[in-house]
Each structure stands twice: as structure tokens, then as C-alpha cells.
Amino acid sequence: MKLLDKYLFSLIFKSSILTLLGLVALFSFFQFLEELDDIGTKDYTLNVAIKFVLFKIPSYFNMLSILGIMIGVVFILGQLNSNRELQIYHVASISRKAIIIKALKFSSLISLFLIIILETISPFSLTIADKFKREALRQPVISELGNIWLKKNNNFFNIAKNADSYDLKVFEVEGETLLKSFLYKENVEISNEFLTAKNSSKIEIKESNGLFKVVDNSQAGEFRFEFESDQQQLMKKNLKLLSISEILSSIKFSIDNQINFEEIFLELVSRLIKPLTLVGMILIATPFVLNFKRSASVGNRLFIAIAIGVLTHLLTKISSVLSVAYENLTFFGPFLPTIFLILLGLVILKIKL
């Protein structure tokens, strides 16, 4: 690597990391302020709140990594332009276009490095943080869900939230259409691993001489259902708690059991496409920064970077909604914001430079 390349890489790396640290510190502070409202509820103490925020920090690094790197790149290129250091590159026959390509390459390498590390650590630490808070507030994972269906062997389970309690219905089916029994219980006990229904009402349908007879067993005893690992993953409404490998297994489980998996697929794509999204964001931002006059302030550069970050966030949200609403966009929709950013960035780059 040439000396100028090393210099540019070190500047981008330091600027990106420092920016990222600042963003994470800011988000962690606001998260702690938000947790103050829950302190004193049940077993949720100040100590638990601090642990919760600390274990969420890797997830903030993961969430803000692309924005932090983009701001770092924009700031450094603007600084080099303002200080006339880019003239050194011009003397070395390195054009502005070549500088942008180098910045894209270096920032992509940094983002890949961070993504590999953070995608390993972030879901694990976020799960621990979530467990701390749920145990303190005595909330099972399923408390976030309103009405879910699960299947195990020949049984179909319906768990419906009713105010602060849960109702359970179990349908035992033989073949595709024959109902063998129906179990019902109000106010079932639910934890993250299993549910328990005591003194449930059960109706059995038995066949005798070609006739069906309904047997009412009002006191069916204790019924216990243990959630499988894949079912526990699907019940986690916060997909950030899942690692990429868990997301892939959840998608496979959903396909095998004919369960809608658009939301999980969108989460997977949003993680894998981060480096390409960063390329599109930098392509849009750098032509403006490199064409600034030397007197341009740091605030101008940061405003451009943050504005592009907000634009990217809005495009991603709109694309996600459209992908869920229109089935034809399910597999193509998540890529739309990134494709739009890259094309728009290339057009702006051609016009400006």
C-alpha cells in the first residue's frame, strides 16, 4: 500500500471510530434516561438498568456503524479539501474520482470488519440485556405478541393475549381434516420456555361403529407445552435478538411450516446489504464535500452526512412497508433503497466531478 493510501486509510479509520464512539455514547445516554421511568417497577432497580444499557452498547455499535463510517469519511474528505491536502494527491496524479474510489474501498473494508465482529457479539449481548430487563419486570418473551399459532406433531396451538393473561386453545388433528380433540384453558402460565395449563377443559371426539361421539372431560389435569428453539426464535418480536445463523434457521423453519417470513427476510437483507448501502451514501455525499470552498464549516459537512443518513433510513422504512404490502416486492424490495442510492450517487458524481 502506498504512503498516501496508508495516510488516507488511517484518517478514515480514526475518524470513523471516533464518530461511532460519539454516536454510541449519545444513544446510550438517551437509553439510560428512558430506563429511569421503569426503575422501581417490580424488581427493576438502578443496577439492572445500568446492566441493561451496558449490554445494549454492542447493538448500538452495530446499528450506527454505517452512519458513523459515512460521517467519518465525509468529515475527513472535507477536511483534506479545506486544508488543501488533496493537492498532494493531485501532484501524485491521483484524481478526485480516484480519491473517492479509495475512500469507498477503505470504508467498505472497515464496515465489513465491524459487521463481522458486531454481528457475532451484538445479538448475544442484546439477548442478555433483554433477559435482564424481562426477568426484573417478570415479562416472558411472548408478552410482546398478541395472537400466535404454533404447530407440534398433530397439535395446533393458539395462544391469545387477553388483557394481562393468556388463553390457550389446542386442536388435535388426525390427517388433514379430522378433529380428534379440543382443549381450552383461560389464564395459562407462560414463561420463555414453556406454558402450563392446569385443570383445562378438554373435549374428545371418538369414533364408534362409524359414528362420532363427543366426550366432555372438564378436568383434563395439567397440560404442559415446551417451546422448541425455533419456535422461541419466531416468538421474539425483536429480530435484533437473533444472530444471522438463527435468522437463517428461522427462515428455513418458516418455509418448512408454511409460515410467513417476510419480516425475517427483510432483517436478513438489511444486515447483509450494509456495505453496499454505505457505498451509495458515500457516493452521494463526497461530490458535495469535495466541491465545497475551503471556508466550508464542519457543520456543513455534518449536515450533509446526517441528511443522507436520514434519507437512507426513510427509504429503507418505505421499502420495508412496500415489501410487506406487495408480495411481488418481497425479495426485491429490500434492495431498492441501496440500488437507488448507488444510481443517484453515480449520477451526482458524474455531474459534480
Domain assignment present for residue 238? The answer is: no
Retrieve residue 221's grid coordinates: 389435569
* pLDDT score, position 210: 59
> In terms of domains, do 65 and 8 share one?
yes
E strand segments, 187-277: 189-190, 194-197, 201-208, 211-217, 223-226
Retrieve residue 345's grid coordinates: 450517487
Domain assignment present for residue 79? The answer is: yes
Domain assignment present for residue 239? The answer is: no
Domain assignment present for residue 220? The answer is: yes
> In terms of domains, do 271 and 219 share one?
no
215 beta partners: 204
> In terms of domains, do 153 and 67 share one?
no
236 residue type, one letter: K
Q: Looking up cell 457516493, which residue turns up?
A: 283
Range of the domain at 198: 146-232
* pLDDT score, position 21: 95
Retrieve residue 24's grid coordinates: 454510541
Collect all residues with Cβ–Cβ distance below 8 Å to 103 and sequence separation of at least 6.
8, 12, 73, 77, 282, 286
> In terms of domains, do 111 and 223 share one?
no
Collect all residues with Cβ–Cβ distance below 8 Å to 214 and sequence separation of at least 6.
203, 204, 205
Domain assignment present for residue 159? The answer is: yes
Please tell me the total count of domains within the chain.
2
CA distance 260 to 97: 44
170 beta partners: 157, 183
Instruction: Render each residue's pLDDT in the chain as its tens digit; 353 residues.
Output: 578 788 889 999 999 999 999 999 999 999 999 999 989 888 899 999 999 999 999 999 998 998 899 888 888 888 887 777 777 777 777 777 888 888 889 999 999 999 889 988 988 898 889 888 888 887 765 555 557 777 777 788 788 777 667 788 888 888 766 788 888 888 777 765 677 777 777 777 776 665 666 666 655 567 777 766 656 555 555 677 777 877 887 788 777 766 677 777 877 888 888 888 888 888 888 777 776 555 556 667 667 777 777 777 677 767 766 765 666 655 666 777 888 888 888 888 788 76
> In terms of domains, do 267 and 131 share one?
yes
Domain assignment present for residue 251? The answer is: no
Its pTM stands at 0.73
> In terms of domains, do 72 and 52 share one?
yes
> In terms of domains, do 306 and 223 share one?
no
> In terms of domains, do 159 and 114 share one?
no
* pLDDT score, position 55: 94
> In terms of domains, do 225 and 270 share one?
no
Contact 89, 99 (CB under 8 A): yes
Domain assignment present for residue 179? The answer is: yes
* pLDDT score, position 238: 67
> In terms of domains, do 113 and 7 share one?
yes
* pLDDT score, position 323: 65
Contact 273, 334 (CB under 8 A): yes
* pLDDT score, position 12: 92
> In terms of domains, do 276 and 209 share one?
no
> In terms of domains, do 294 and 337 share one?
yes
Domain assignment present for residue 294? The answer is: yes
Contact 294, 81 (CB under 8 A): yes
